[in-house]
Amino acid sequence: MRPRSINQVRLPGIRHVTEATGLGWAVTDRGSVTVNLFDYDLRRVARLAAPLDDPRMKVSATRRLVAAGDDHQIVVLDHDGAVRWRSSWDRLGGSTAGGFHLDGDHVLWIRLGDTLVAVHGVSGAEIHRTPLPGPGAAWFVHSPAGVWTGLTLLNPYESLAMLIRLDAGRIVSRPVAGGGLAGFSPAGGRYVTLTLDGLLSVRDAASDAVIAERHLEDLPGPPPSLPSCRDVDRAVFLSEDLILAALNTEDLPNDAEDHLLLSALSLRCRSQVRYPHHHSYGAVHPSYEPGRWLTRHHEDDQLRLWQLDARLDDEPMPGQLALL
């Protein structure tokens, strides 16, 4: 399957790309404290400098706010760069944050040591805090349904995932089965998880019931040319029916990746993505615009936006009947 190119942007020194909730993506530079905001058509909507000292900052953003944090402090700004509030991590009651995320209601979720803190993103007022297993890093995942936010607590052996939200001003959580939480379907009704040993799982978000679960080495219908796989680097929903899996492979140089389209109902391989350029396939980032995804390419400083726009490998040719 050859995807259609929607847009591409050259951004020298790309360091990190994260989803901007309800907007598109927030992108940082390796050599500056600049935050670039792009919409879901990969059009730049803002470029601002965070009042921090370390370009290795983490960022999160929404249609209205940008949160940026380094080893010492966190600051929340409007898109024009005006500072809403700032705080040291010590003042918030912990060491350097293990991760943070602005959700669609402008709640700032912070993994702070062995604590999860919910802060009002606009005012900086603390809403609630609750203990977490840890300390350690955290990975937040936006849910398009807007009810829950996904949280994965990372460790070298087995990741712990949960769904978090506020209820009457208090943090409530629900454990998620299957490994580290990778992403939600565009409607928010399903999620996909990964384990370090290559197990993929698609589950119902309301009940955690297994829809499909397979090991990377047991995916049905892989292309004959697929090299030996090392692990799944990323798995994101492109539509309610398709998941894009980025595989690290042993037989390709420089940890290049193969990208496969998998059925969201069976994890059967539907197609191999064949890009119209010669570079490695690039890191994958979800769009939540159905059928679209973003790739990041450090070797040529490019962000590329793609759209499903071709017949999948297992679909019949025009005039043929589908095999039952």
pLDDT along the chain (324 residues), means of 10: 94 93 94 96 97 94 96 95 96 82 94 93 97 84 88 78 96 92 92 89 94 90 68 88 84 62 95 78 84 90 92 72 49
pLDDT of residue 119: 97
Q: What's the gap between Cα 171 and its chain centre?
A: 22
Helix (H) or strand (E) holding 14: strand 14-21
pLDDT of residue 265: 96
Q: Where are the alpha helices (DSSP H) in the chain?
A: 89-92
Alpha-carbon distance 190 to 284, whole Å? Answer: 19
Question: What is the pTM assigned to this prediction?
Answer: 0.90
Contact present, 47 and 75 (Cβ < 8 Å): no
Alpha-carbon distance 185 to 216, whole Å? Answer: 20
Alpha-carbon distance 138 to 105, whole Å? Answer: 20
pLDDT of residue 80: 96
Alpha-carbon distance 257 to 79, whole Å? Answer: 34
Structure tokens at 28: 């940082």
Q: What is the dihedral of CA 90, 75, 120, 170, to 10 degrees?
A: -40
